[in-house]
Structure 1
Amino acid sequence: MNKYLIHIFLITGIIWNMKAQNDPAIPIPTPSQIQWQNSELVALLCIDLHAFDNRSYVQKQARITPVKDYNIFNPQQYDMDQWIKALKDGGFKTAILTVSHETGFFFHQSDATSYSMKALNWQNGKGDLLKDFKASCRKYGILPGVYIGTRWNAFYGVYDFKVQGDTEFSENRQKHYNTMIEKIVEEIFTNYGDWAIVWFDGGAHGPAQGGPDVLSVFEKHQPNCLFYHNLQRADMRWGGSETGMVPYPCWGTFPYVSTGAGESAKKEIGTNNFQLLKTGDPDGKFYMQAMSDAPLRGHGGHDWFWEPNRSHLIYPLDKLINMYYNSVGHNTSLILGVTPGPNGLIPEPDVKRLKEFGDEIKRRFSTPIASSSGLGKNISLKLSKSQKVNEIVLMENISKGERVRKFVLEGKTDKGWEVIFEGSCIGHKFIHQFDEKEVHEIKLKVNASKGEPDILEFSAFYNSNDYQKNL
């Protein structure tokens, strides 16, 4: 064979290899989306003025009724470090603070609105929850996110994105509100450093819908941050309920570039109780992972914000563990709403439950019986001896996209090979629980994939539920 032909074969081989790596075209997550998926546990710290009035929260009233006196905010034992340490002890890797919500009050030092912490008697108007939050996150190694409410603002009279009415007065008020929000967003994105995620509550209408242009401000100042969300862009999606769980399978890909602002921008998204949000679309053109959210105080209630005499609503540990399996174990993040009280501390029962949750997850998944990883459609996991297994964790290298489409898990018992599970989606993480089997080898067989499967983790565990005896 002459040098010319050898050269041709080499070039052809290189091109084929590149094609094999890049084809078929599947959505690839950004580094910020991968960082979010790796967090797995996220806390949403929910605070607003109405948490200090010692009354039950009524959402429909909070959206239309201005707070009589913003100086009800007067937390005498305030300790942001206590908040963030409680999250760290719970195993959370990302935290999000509500810098504003439906009352319209902003918990930072703002030059764009007087309805912010500058107006308070507390700390002589010098307080800044957002600044404290960033400092504590840095101290405890937590990724910081900020939640900005613009859809409702009881103080400015904005409801469902808009100043009500169609007069010149309402038009001028809308322009003023839009400009104010753009300035506030710029403050948050320039004065407080980098953010891992910005969350616009209920979406953020842009100029085309008569709202502020927050997306361009975001893209200018926070290029490495997750954006959630408006009609033009969504870097993740709501999981379709506030139960902290999604069904299986739940794909990290979606057919639309955004889920839209409001309950749904497209009727296809809202159909069948938001089924598309819950399951995603394996053939979707956009990488947009789901989140599973629930308030920590949601066991028989639904308290995103502190209310008096409600600690009995904290989810029991077994319910939280079940959430974990059906959220993180189903390829989503689990977002728990945590409620600081009017004294400025996360209540002790909540802190205790968060610690129990973090400890139990660590106990379950810190020490696998055996682990493996690798490329290809067949991966074997050989155990050192025949032993009981009742949980398997699978993870794909999602930096190359969700490639696996069908797979089978088999365990080798004394009677031969037995099917443990037949599935479809793996994504960032899939956890399968099953009745214990005594095996000495487990196999992962990928029967269908888009491109070569790249398995980041294939681990076996045996976990008892002895912890429940002490609940």
Structure 2
Amino acid sequence: MRRYSQLVLAAALVSTLFSCSTTDSTTSAAQQVAAPAPVYPVPSEAQLAWHEMEMNAFVHFTTNTFTDLEWGYGDESPAIFNPTQLDADQWVKTLKEAGFKGVILTCKHHDGFALWPSKYTEHSVANSPYKNGQGDVVKEVSDACKRHGLKFGVYLSPWDRNRADYGQPSYIEYYRNQLEEIFTNYGPAFEMWFDGANGGDGYYGGAREVRKIDRATYYDWPTTLAYVDKLQPKPEVLFFSDAGPDIRWVGNERGVVAETNWNTISNDTLYAGMAGIEDLLGTGSEDGTKWIPAEVDVSIRPGWFYHAKEDSLVKSPEKLFDIYMTSVGRGSTLLLNVPPDRRGLIHEEDLKALQGWRQLLDREFKTNLAAKAKAKADSHRGNAGAYAASMVTDGDKETYWATDDAVTTGTLEIDLGKVQPVKYVLLQEYIKLGQRVKSFSVDIWQNGAWQPVADATTIGYKRILQLDPVNTDKIRINITASKASPVISNVAVY
């Protein structure tokens, strides 16, 4: 369905990137040791960049904000859309300060109301009182993202409860026309988001009836996505849906990915809106044929759109921290929804929660106790310094500890220099060469012996284990099973 670039690192090039040891002979030997072969599938460059973003914000805003609905029926008058203090800079600045790297805006939800002046429908901001019909929310948010250095993404609901021709072939042409407007006038977009809510009751231009579609075939997604690819060939836009093709749904809206989280899955028979695959989406597949990582979408409020009755129900900083640990901390990217209120501003309660959450993250992960720490391993690849244990504490994401091809287990020992409190252990695989680790454990040195404190399964881009606070001067990582020689790029301790 999509192009998947296979990132293969040439052995000679990789070896020369790293300073190996103190002698010329060791350096020479390292240059002769080939890098591990990739374990396919591997992420594309755009997917790698997406992993490194770690946290993005969802912004749900439309007529629903003013009708107090979650799903608009499609018969809402554009006249109700009138945010009198809309400030996209306030949104984006707030989100940036909270640590988000991108913003995905609901340009069109199921009600069909377009937040930009689309020439293909009257059901848009152009017929609202907002800025006397001269407003363009999509442009305002896109421009604010550019000003503040955040990436911009779009949600365009495939289901449209306003359109009279929804369910007919002509609607697909309409949907693609709107995609062309978005990607031609407001891009580039790093992600295009569409969900599985497709078909059901609606206004449908006055018909007020239930319409069903074949979710597997009606939208002809391969053609639609190829069309968007031509509109924005670079930078590559990533497509999110239940089954990808680039990013998959996590299977729930609680902010939790499974503790075993493979970035790989086979999606040849999956499609957006397919029922009964939630567990599979949450775990991925160890033997999956495509790199389709899970995105964890959850709202800061019980609903996705702003409702005044939920002002007292905004998630606390502590709850947001828990969600961070069950999303980013399990190798996924977090997509947190922060819906503006009827004024067109992020509400004070949401602001307070985001600020408190940021303070928690900064406090808990302030100082990496393992930065530049001494590290040793029971073995490393070819005895070459380029793959030694010290690569996991050097602060360089492009270096990694690796074992020989026949060795799929191993032990890393980190010397913290002195006894000090430890609460978190963070690990990262060098996923350019694929996801490999199937299980691992963590020990701490205490009372003259190694004491087990944690065990887990997958690592992937990032894994953070929260420990019962302990005092120790040494940490030991035991890779107990791996699909191929493990490649660990980073170990951090907090």
Q: State TM-score, norm by structure 2.
A: 0.79
Q: Which residue number corresponds to residue 49 of structure 2?
A: 35
Tell me whether 1:66 sits opposite 2:75 in the alignment: yes
CA distance in 1 between counterparts of 2:70 and 2:117 reads 28
Q: CA RMSD in A?
A: 2.4
Matches within 5 A, 1:166-245: 174-202=168-196, 209-211=217-219, 213-223=223-233, 224-229=236-241, 233-245=244-256
Name the residue aligned to 2:161: 154
Specify the SS of the correspondent of 2:36.
Answer: helix
Q: Cα gap change, 1:285/1:442 in structure 2, threshold over 3 Å: closer, same or farther? A: same
SS of aligned partner of 2:330 = coil
Question: Which structure 2 segments of 5+ residues have no match?
Answer: 1-28, 199-212, 372-391, 394-399, 403-409
* Alpha-carbon distance change, 255 to 186 in structure 1, aligned in 2, over 3 angstroms: same
The equivalent of 2:5 in structure 1 is none
Letter in 1 for 2:417: S
Find the counterpart in structure 2 of residue 419 from structure 1.
Answer: 452
Please state if 1:253 is matched with 2:264. yes
Distance (Å, rounded) in 1 between the aligned partners of 2:247 and 2:178:
23
- The corresponding residue for 2:59 is 45
Look up the equivalent residue of 1:202 and give its one-letter code: G
Q: Is the 8 A contact 1:206 1:230 kept in 2?
A: no
Q: Secondary structure at the match of 2:360?
A: helix
Tell me if structure 2 keeps the 8 A contact 1:203–1:229: no
Establish whether residue 286 from structure 1 lines up as the match of residue 301 from structure 2.
Answer: no
SS in 2 for 1:184: helix
Of 433, 458, 464, the match for 2:466 = 433
Partner SS for 2:470: strand
What's the CA shift for 1:305? Answer: 0.4
Task: Write the distance in 1 (CA, Å) between the matches of 2:441 and 2:434.
Answer: 20
Q: Is the 8 A contact 1:104 1:115 kept in 2?
A: yes
Give per-residue Cα distances to partners, 1:370-408, cap 9 Å, x unaligned.
Answer: 234431243321112012212101111212211222222
Q: How many residues align?
A: 414
Quick one: distance in 2 between partners of 1:454 and 1:206? 43
- CA separation of 1:208 and 1:424: change in aligned 2, threshold 3 A: closer
Q: 1:257: Cα distance to partner?
A: 4.3
Q: For residues 112 and 51 of structure 1, what CA distance do their matches in structure 2 show? A: 23
Q: Is the 8 A contact 1:40 1:332 kept in 2?
A: yes
Between the aligned partners of 2:248 and 2:269, the Cα distance in structure 1 is: 8
Listed one character per residue, the Cα deviations across residues 86-110 of structure 1 (whole Å, up to 9, x for unaligned) are 1112111111000000110111132
8 Å contact kept, 2:192–2:240: yes
| Alignment partners' CA distance in 1, 2:216 and 2:250 | 26
Mapped contact 2:70–2:304 kept (Cα < 8 A): no
Q: Distance in 1 between matches of 2:462 and 2:354?
A: 22
Task: Give distance in 2, aligned partners of 1:307 and 1:252.
Answer: 35
Q: Pairwise mapping of residues 80-99 of structure 1 onto structure 2 (< 5 A)?
A: 80-99=88-107
Deviating more after overlay: 441-450 vs 131-140 = 441-450
> Equivalences for 1:80-119 in 2 at 5 Å?
80-119=88-127
* 1:281 shift after superposition: 1.1
Deviation at 1:288, TM superposition (A): 0.9
- Could you give the per-residue CA deviations for residues 323-366 of structure 1, whole angstroms, max 9, x where no partner exists? 11111111111211111111111111111111111221122113
Question: Using a 3 Å threshold, how does the CA distance of structure 1 residues 424 and 323 change in structure 2: closer, same or farther?
Answer: same
The match for 1:26 among 27, 34, 40 is 40
**Cα displacement string for residues 15-52 of structure 1 (whole angstroms, at most 9, x for unaligned residues):** x966x6325x4210111211221111111100111211
SS in 2 for 1:459: strand
Taking only the aligned residue pairs, the percentage that are identical comes to: 32
Task: Give deviations 1:257-276, integer Å, cap 9, x for gaps.
Answer: 47412143xxxxx15xx211
Instruction: Tell me how far 1:226 sits from its aligned partner.
Output: 0.5
Following superposition, the deviation at residue 112 of structure 1 comes to: 2.4
Q: Is the 8 A contact 2:443 2:476 kept in 1?
A: yes
Is 1:396–2:429 an aligned residue pair? Answer: yes
C-alpha distance in structure 2 between counterparts of 1:367 and 1:437, whole Å: 16
1:320, 1:127 → 2: CA distance? 33
Task: Map Cα deviations across residues 43-95 of structure 1 (whole Å, 9 max, x no partner).
Answer: 11001112113xx3253xx34x511x211111111100011111112111111
In structure 1, the residue corresponding to 2:170 is in which secondary structure? Answer: helix
Name which of 277, 297, 300 aligns with 2:281: 277
Q: How does 1:277-356 map to 2 (within 5 A)?
A: 277-298=281-302, 303-356=303-356
- Whether the aligned pair in 2 keeps the contact of 1:203 and 1:230 (CA below 8 Å) is no
Q: What secondary structure does 2:351 align onto?
A: helix
